[in-house]
């Protein structure tokens, strides 16, 4: 254990040394100050495996990485809906980092899947911020339980690879808060990550690395982040602005150029020494934390970690379709078809690429079963190879069933570029169609990092989505196909019928300067549900080899002065909590796990809100016939939207529906709650304020109607009929204050209107 006295160091460091500590020594290390006994720390890519580079002095960070274990990627992990699994993965990687003297693993990446075309979607969890936040927080807690830090990335709004280093994401604040920042907020508050990594892009015209609103106001001021912020590699723009905005560490080394700019800024008074000292102190705090908690002599068992990767892959896989063909019997004569059966695509390309110490394939894992193999296609060639297809067709014809291993090759999705379409390679689609002509009992296993189009979906008997399932995906796939494991994953993203259905389609990837997030909060299932649009497979969907029944939904208000009823519903305040309980029973004949999903719908929203939003999930394991009670706890945030007028989260008074689903499209239980808000939106009166806005702030808006009706009726000299009164009231709602004086001559009672406005302001 190395003791580091931060205050003493700050007093002894020269200005040049302080500036130098704010950039890397090389591609993977912070700077050491040998004369003061300050060591460096190493950071390393992740997040689904350890990508520690064996860097030689003459290399620029691109040397070969050590042999390591590749676990399932985030796209797969999210389908587990299992916070305990993510914690286990984090702890496992933390152990490997301790053994390899890595202080910070760069991840997880928690961007929202705005478009299925994003080339790096395989590294991201979900289209849903609640799911991504809960899983990400559990992962971070797992890693940091081993006294190894994480760097949650890429903060923020980096939802595409096209021009990711220069594009400006144009996003309104409500959308940022509810969709693109929410997962980070959850992780910061629930897991206290050691570091955060800025994205390359601009947000509303300001680079993330020098965005004072993002880093100082929101991240630190509102959320309480107490670690340090680093750039993505090469993402620095203006070094002095960045330090002022709350960006401490520039990675990698800048060759001293930006260090000199910091020194110059302090000397000429454009940067205070106090701001620089604060940046250095934040970096030193993490260095101190790592070394004072470092455990020497850790040796981990790669084979044991490989076994864990196999179990995780099975937990993540999603059974998309099954017409009774799965699980296969060991004696069934099966034709395995496709190059991915022998060389599975199990991870994506780019900075997260792991040098796996071994990879298991399905063909080897199925030895001992009644199975034969045909290659069917070349992964590196999109065009159909007729000889390979014919060989596969002949094999399938003579079998009792065919399992085709399909998916996206490496060159289809990677860091650095986005996909052009949703299609599988033509060679695979042609292969599947030709096999189906001779073998109706066909199963497709998918290896991909993001949704794909499936033109043959209605013809095949079963589809097993294994995503990019890590180095043990071959063994896990066989476990699932033959019933040694029961599929229990559910989709963490929607599979659209076609690319044009995606809400970002007309605004992705934008121009050469900007990309506009015009769909606002309506991404993923929020949009598809709002449009009542058919999808290929909905968010939260997944089948099992058993069946589950839900019952006995109950609501209970916690921390209340006493439950009451409002409009015939159970009522709660926005400072209360709501306990939601239900029973889940395994009604099938085999052991299985079910993911129970809780959605909330604002039934009386005064602003545009999605039809439902995920606010709870739980994976429950059940033996045949077993029943368990599942409980969720909701608070104000579960019902709230972000009000830019209020500058805070706001749960408005009214009715909310509690929806329990097997997916976002299969709601099986439903109940309602009446929420009474203790907040009121601020009164903003200007020339565009309508009378409807005014009435929304009145305890009894009928008094306003009466006042207006009396004034106009008096001016008209006659009473109104009931139908005229109804029409009049609708017109009144839309009338603005700037129109009031124009209407004074025909009965608008301005003195009484002014009195109402003054009373509301008080």
User: Does 748 lie in the same domain as 635?
Assistant: no
Per residue in 378-400, pLDDT (tens digit) is 999 999 999 999 999 999 999 99
Domain assignment present for 373: yes
User: Does 599 lie in the same domain as 497?
Assistant: no
Mean pLDDT computed over 491-512: 97
Mean pLDDT computed over 442-464: 98
Sequential DSSP letters for 234-249: T--S-HHHHHHHT--B
Q: What is the 3-state secondary structure (H, E, C) of 565-619?
A: EECCEEEEECCCEEEEEEEEEECCCCCEEEEEEEEEEECCCCCCCCCCEEEEEEE
CATH number of the domain enclosing 616: 2.60.40.10
CATH number of the domain enclosing 171: 3.20.20.300
* Residue 344 structure tokens: 């599975």
Per residue in 309-365, pLDDT (tens digit) is 999 999 999 999 999 999 999 999 999 999 999 999 999 988 889 999 999 999 999
User: Does 267 lie in the same domain as 400?
Assistant: no
What is the spatial order of strands in the sheet that 401-407 belongs to?
A: 318-322, 462-465, 442-447, 401-407, 334-337, 371-374
User: Of the given ranges (382-396, 462-476, 680-694), which has the lowest mean pLDDT?
Assistant: 680-694
Decide if 232 is catalytic.
yes
Last residue of a domain, one of 676, 699, 726: 676
What is residue 57's predicted lDDT score, i.e. its pLDDT?
44
Domain assignment present for 744: yes
Count other Cβ atoms within 10 Å, centred on residue 301.
11
Domain count, the chain: 4
User: Does 520 lie in the same domain as 623?
Assistant: no
Set 45, 232, 259, 602: catalytic member: 232
CATH number of the domain enclosing 455: 3.40.50.1700
User: Does 656 lie in the same domain as 696?
Assistant: no
Last residue of a domain, one of 292, 316, 337: 292
Instruction: Tell me the backbone φ, ψ of residue 284, rounded to 5 degrees.
Output: -65, -30
Domain assignment present for 23: yes
User: Does 146 lie in the same domain as 118?
Assistant: yes
Range of the domain at 194: 6-70+79-292
Per residue in 565-593, pLDDT (tens digit) is 766 779 999 999 999 999 999 999 999 99
What is residue 713's predicted lDDT score, i.e. its pLDDT?
58
What is residue 58's predicted lDDT score, i.e. its pLDDT?
45
Q: Is the pLDDT of residue 1 over 90?
A: no
Q: Is the pLDDT of residue 218 over 80?
A: yes
| 712 confidence band (pLDDT: 50, 70, 90) | low
Domain assignment present for 535: no
User: Does 179 lie in the same domain as 142?
Assistant: yes
Q: Is the pLDDT of residue 434 over 90?
A: yes
**This prediction's pTM:** 0.94
Domain assignment present for 682: no
User: Does 601 lie in the same domain as 471?
Assistant: no
User: Does 287 lie in the same domain as 313?
Assistant: no
User: Does 234 lie in the same domain as 109?
Assistant: yes
Last residue of a domain, one of 618, 652, 676: 676
What is residue 735's predicted lDDT score, i.e. its pLDDT?
80
User: Does 310 lie in the same domain as 284?
Assistant: no
Residue 507: DSSP 8-state: G
How far apart are alpha carbons 31 and 418 in whole angstroms? 35
Mean pLDDT computed over 490-504: 98
What is the spatial order of strands in the sheet that 613-622 belongs to?
A: 564-566, 569-573, 666-676, 654-663, 592-602, 613-622
Q: What is the mean pLDDT of the chain?
A: 93
Domain assignment present for 26: yes
Domain assignment present for 684: no
User: Does 624 lie in the same domain as 510?
Assistant: no
Domain assignment present for 102: yes
């Amino acid at each position: 254990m190395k003791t580091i006295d931060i205050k003493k160091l700050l007093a002894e460091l020269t200005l040049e040394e302080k500036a130098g500590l704010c950039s890397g020594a090389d591609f993977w290390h912070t700077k050491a100050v040998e004369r003061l006994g300050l060591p460096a720390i190493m950071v390393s890519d992740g997040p689904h495996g350890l990508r520690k580079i064996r860097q030689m002095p003459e290399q620029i960070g691109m040397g070969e990485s050590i042999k390591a274990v590749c676990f399932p990627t985030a796209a797969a992990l999210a389908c587990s809906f299992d916070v305990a699994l993510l914690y286990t993965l984090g702890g496992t990687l933390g152990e490997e980092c301790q053994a390899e003297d890595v202080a910070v693993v760069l991840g997880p990446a928690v961007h929202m899947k705005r478009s299925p075309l994003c080339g790096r979607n395989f590294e991201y969890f979900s289209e849903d911020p609640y799911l991504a936040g809960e899983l990400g927080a559990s992962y971070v807690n797992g890693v940091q339980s081993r006294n190894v830090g994480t760097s949650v990335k890429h903060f923020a709004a980096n939802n595409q690879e096209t021009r990711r280093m220069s594009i400006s994401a144009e996003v309104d604040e409500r959308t940022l808060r509810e969709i693109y920042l929410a997962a980070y907020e959850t992780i910061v508050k629930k897991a206290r990550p050691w570091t955060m990594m800025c994205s390359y892009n601009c947000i509303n015209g300001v680079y993330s690395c020098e965005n004072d609103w993002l880093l100082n106001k929101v991240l630190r001021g509102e959320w309480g982040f107490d670690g340090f912020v680093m750039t993505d590699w090469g993402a620095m723009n203006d070094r002095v602005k960045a330090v002022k905005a709350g960006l401490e560490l520039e990675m990698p080394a800048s060759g001293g150029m930006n260090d000199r700019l910091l020194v110059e800024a302090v000397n000429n008074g454009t940067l205070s020494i106090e701001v620089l000292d604060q940046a250095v102190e934040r970096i030193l705090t993490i260095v101190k934390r790592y070394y004072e908690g470092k455990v020497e002599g850790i040796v981990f068992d790669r084979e044991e970690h490989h076994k864990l990767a196999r179990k995780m892959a099975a937990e993540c896989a999603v059974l998309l379709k099954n017409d009774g063909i799965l699980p296969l019997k060991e004696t069934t004569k099966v034709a395995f078809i496709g190059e991915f059966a022998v060389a599975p695509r199990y991870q994506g390309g780019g900075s997260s690429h792991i040098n796996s110490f071994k990879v298991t394939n399905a063909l080897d894992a199925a030895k001992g079963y009644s199975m034969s193999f045909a290659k069917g296609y070349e992964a590196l060639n999109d065009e159909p190879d007729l000889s390979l297809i014919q060989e596969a067709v002949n094999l399938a014809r003579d079998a009792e069933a065919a399992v085709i291993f399909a998916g996206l090759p490496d060159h289809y999705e990677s860091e650095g570029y986005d996909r052009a379409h949703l299609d599988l390679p033509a060679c695979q689609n042609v292969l599947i169609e030709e096999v189906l002509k001779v073998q109706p009992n066909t199963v497709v296993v998918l290896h991909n990092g993001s949704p794909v189009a499936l033109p043959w979906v209605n013809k095949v008997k079963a589809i097993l989505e294994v995503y990019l399932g890590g180095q043990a995906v071959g063994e896990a796939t066989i476990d699932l196909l033959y019933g040694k494991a029961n599929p229990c994953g559910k989709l963490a993203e929607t599979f659209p019928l076609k690319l044009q259905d995606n809400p970002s389609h007309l605004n992705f990837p934008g121009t050469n300067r900007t990309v506009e997030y015009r769909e606002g909060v309506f991404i993923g299932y929020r949009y598809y549900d709002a449009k009542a649009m058919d999808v290929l497979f909905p968010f939260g969907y997944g089948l099992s080899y058993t069946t589950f029944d839900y019952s006995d939904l109950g609501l209970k208000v916690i921390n209340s002065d006493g439950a009451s009823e409002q409009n015939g519903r159970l009522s709660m305040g926005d400072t209360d909590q709501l306990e939601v309980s239900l029973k889940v029973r395994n009604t099938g004949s085999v052991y299985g796990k079910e993911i129970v999903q809780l959605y909330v719908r604002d039934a009386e929203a005064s602003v545009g809100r999605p039809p439902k939003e995920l606010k709870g999930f739980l994976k429950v394991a059940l033996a045949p016939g077993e029943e368990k009670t599942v409980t969720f706890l909701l608070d104000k945030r579960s019902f709230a939207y972000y009000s830019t007028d209020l500058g805070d989260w706001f749960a408005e008074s009214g009715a909310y529906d509690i929806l329990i689903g097997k997916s976002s499209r299969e709601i099986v239980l439903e109940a309602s709650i009446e929420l009474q808000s203790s907040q009121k939106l601020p009164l903003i009166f200007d020339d565009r304020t309508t009378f409807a806005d005014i009435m929304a702030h009145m305890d009894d808006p009928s008094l306003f109607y009466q006042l207006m009706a009396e004034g106009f009726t008096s001016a008209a000299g006659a009473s109104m009929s009931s139908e005229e009164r109804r029409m009049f009231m609708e017109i009144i709602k839309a009338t603005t204050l700037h129109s009031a004086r124009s209407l004074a001559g025909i009965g608008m009672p301005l003195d009484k209107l002014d009195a109402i406005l003054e009373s509301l302001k008080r």
